[in-house]
Amino acid sequence: MKIYINGELLSEKDAKISVFDHGLLYGDGVFEGIRAYDGIVSLLQEHTDRLYRSAKAIALDIPMTKQTMMDAVAMTCKANKMTNGYIRLVVTRGVGELGLNPYLCANPQVIIIASKIQLYPKELYEKGLQIVTVGTIRNNSESVNPSIKSLNYLNNILAKIEAINAGYMEAIMLNSQGYIAEATGDNIFAVHGKTLVTPPACEGALVGITRNTVMRIAAEQGFEVKESRLTRYDLFNADEVFLTGTAAEVIGVSKVDRRTIAQGVPGPVTTDLARRFREYAGKTGVAIG
């Protein structure tokens, strides 16, 4: 495997960064997870735009243009002969002194990994995913803005640990007011008739690329799509519940906190949106070449 670091393609054994990089020491940096489908880096412009917005929010100057960044992603995929897979695009603060001051860091590190990921087993897309509410509260949106996709994922990891220890693969995270924020790595939707509801960013939800794409597709299919507060009661009594994310794509939820959702299998809305999303994502992006 070839790893891109600051303009070079390096072997895995040679792909290294300093132990003094603030991305390692403090989780100071931003990232994107991106899919490739049949030679297309899916929604690359949208992911790149969000990467640069996240970087701007934490006063991190990315040392290359957006176009150069997108070219580097495509080049890394091509170097690894990857037509279908997962890309992790990372920008760290760079090497600095011990201490929090980011302005003492020089030379942000741009890292691109083109590999594979399978977040959930294939059979769960047919049977539905069982999820559980955990006690780890989502970071307050006024503390760390959820629109920033930063390297510091400890809040989500702690929630994932709780879910796994309870025997589940995924968790629901509530905010400090008890409203649903998101899953540990995915956005969450409830379907009520012809209405789709998902939490807004102010409730602690990341503004996901897949989330936004599914919302647009659903609106085109005649659904009313709303960003609104959701409670667990709203999920328990929904016609359908599903999660969205770059790695997960669209996956239906069969049970929430041991309450069966409708018929206990992914419903027709989830199934149709999953198909339409995959079709759209598979043809919208940048060719690897």
Distance CA 1, CA 169 (A): 29
Task: Say if CB 241 and CB 196 are below 8 A apart.
Answer: no
Give the containing element (helix H, strand E) for 165. Answer: helix 154-165
CA dist., res. 62 & res. 110, Å (int): 8
6-14: list long-range contacts, CB under 8 Å, 24+ apart: 6/107, 6/109, 6/110, 7/72, 7/110, 9/75, 9/76, 9/79
Active site annotation includes 13:
no
For residue 130, what are the contacts with CB-CB under 8 A and spacing of at least 6?
168, 169, 253, 254, 255, 256
Under 8 Å between Cβ of 132 and 171: yes
Helix H or strand E encompassing 35? strand 29-37
Residue 91 amino acid letter: V
Q: CA–CA separation, 136 vs 155, rounded Å?
A: 7
* DSSP string computed for 78-109: HHTT-SSEEEEEEEE--B--SSS-GGG-BS-E
Of the listed 2, 78, 149, 255, which one is catalytic?
Answer: 149
Active site residues: 149
